[in-house]
Amino acid sequence: MSFAPLANDTFLRACLRQATPYTPLWLMRQAGRYLPEYKATRSRAGSFMGLATNVDYATEVTLQPLERFPLDAAILFSDILTVPDAMGLGLSFAEGEGPKLARPLRDEAAVARLAVPDLEQLRYVFDAVTSIRHALKGRVPLIGFSGSPWTLACYMVEGSGSKDDWRGVKSMLYSRPDLMHRILAVNAEAVIGYLNAQIEAGAQAVMVFDSWGGALADGAFQEFSLAYTERVLAGLKRSHEGQVIPRLVFTKGGGLWLEQMGALDCEVLGVDWTVNLGRARALVGGAKALQGNLDPAALFAPPAQVAQQARRVLEAFGTPHTGPGAGPTHIFNLGHGISQFTPPEHVAALVEAVHTHSRAMRPQVSGKA
């Protein structure tokens, strides 16, 4: 496929630990309910699924935040549960509630029947990726994504978001680890196919969201989440049409396992706001770029405080790599998805503060002859 050349490659360069003139930033869930224009499109689409499965709507909302803010990357607008839906579990969204799966994996027979879905069922996602790439006209790179095998399994067993601290999925994990492993093996294979197809459709980086890895006990995390993220990474395309495709992994609540995650075969590790970026850099910064980690709640404060908190995050990471070759780099983001209650003008203050302050933190090239 042929797309316009990339005008702003700071995000991709930072992923590959190459020097950039400032710290690139994007925001998890940057296309979303805090934007009135998103709500307008959502209302025209009739439902969340109507929005997510329609190529034109998905393209439109993916680009909305870029019209407002000079963000350094776009991320595919889609839902994390498209894969379980394609597996036949029946995804729906009731108004004002989270996602629901009509046919969760409640017994051994259901687990035995589970199979890697036909990727044709997910064609609408790949078509959206290609459509967004065209619409972006090379302004910034496009990130594709998937839930991690474990995070998908949480919803697939529970049938919805966390009830009682993931009682259903954890009961299965502790009672029947064999069933859990079967689900995770199917999920890993499905995620590999799903992300590779996004790459082929035009995604310039891919991110694995392990949103619920942090709910696991030490030991269980390594066995039921990390091992399958590793399996996914091993199956991903390294490059496409001559371009390296950076792979990002984010485990919410995974800060305690950062040293072990440093050994993952990926380019970027995302961290949430509980992590000290300077400490994270000391642990893994040499081998990986780091992404994060402003508390999304900091965006509820007035612009001056938002700017101050942004500077704190940049300074916790410290001076980024500025020379030739690869070195420690930072991609600014929130530590989790942006809240629907965020005033958009606070986001503008954040973007401005990150770009300005991160430029100022880099050694200045002297003007004197």
Which residues are designated catalytic?
A: 29, 33, 42, 79, 155
Pairing, β 289-294 against β 268-270? parallel
Interacting stretch for its own copies, rule CB under 8 A, among 28-36, 145-153, 195-203, 271-279? 271-279
| 238 touches its own copies (CB under 8 A) | no
List all residues 6 or more positions away from 349 whose beta carbon is below 8 Å from its beta carbon: 303, 304, 306, 307
Which residues pair with residue 14 across a beta bridge?
A: none
| 28 touches its own copies (CB under 8 A) | no
| 225 touches its own copies (CB under 8 A) | no
Whose Cβ is closer to its own copies: residue 152's or residue 216's?
A: 216
Whose Cβ is closer to its own copies: residue 241's or residue 259's?
A: 259
Contact 213, 251 (CB under 8 A): yes
| 46 touches its own copies (CB under 8 A) | no
Q: How many Cβ atoms sit within 10 Å of the Cβ of residue 67? A: 8
Pairwise CA distance, residues 320 & 14, whole Å:
10
Q: How far is the CB of 336 from its own copies (least distance, A)?
A: 8
Residue with tokens 């949480």: 154
Whose Cβ is closer to its own copies: residue 170's or residue 321's?
A: 170
Whose Cβ is closer to its own copies: residue 43's or residue 171's?
A: 171
Contacts with its own copies, 158-197, as mask; x by CB under 8 A: ------xxxx--xx-xxx----------------------
| 275 touches its own copies (CB under 8 A) | yes
Q: How far is the CB of 258 from its own copies (least distance, A)?
A: 9
Residue with tokens 């440093």: 262
| 7 touches its own copies (CB under 8 A) | no
Binding footprint of its own copies, residue count (CB under 8 A): 39
Contact 145, 78 (CB under 8 A): yes
Pairwise CA distance, residues 152 & 139, whole Å:
32
Whose Cβ is closer to its own copies: residue 48's or residue 300's?
A: 300
Whether the CA torsion 6, 27, 298, 257 is positive or negative: it is negative
- What letter does residue 88 receive in the DSSP assignment? I
3-class state of residue 352 by DSSP: helix
Positions that interact with its own copies (CB under 8 A):
164-167, 170-171, 173-175, 214, 216-221, 253, 255-256, 273-276, 293-298, 300-302, 305, 309, 312, 316, 335, 339, 341
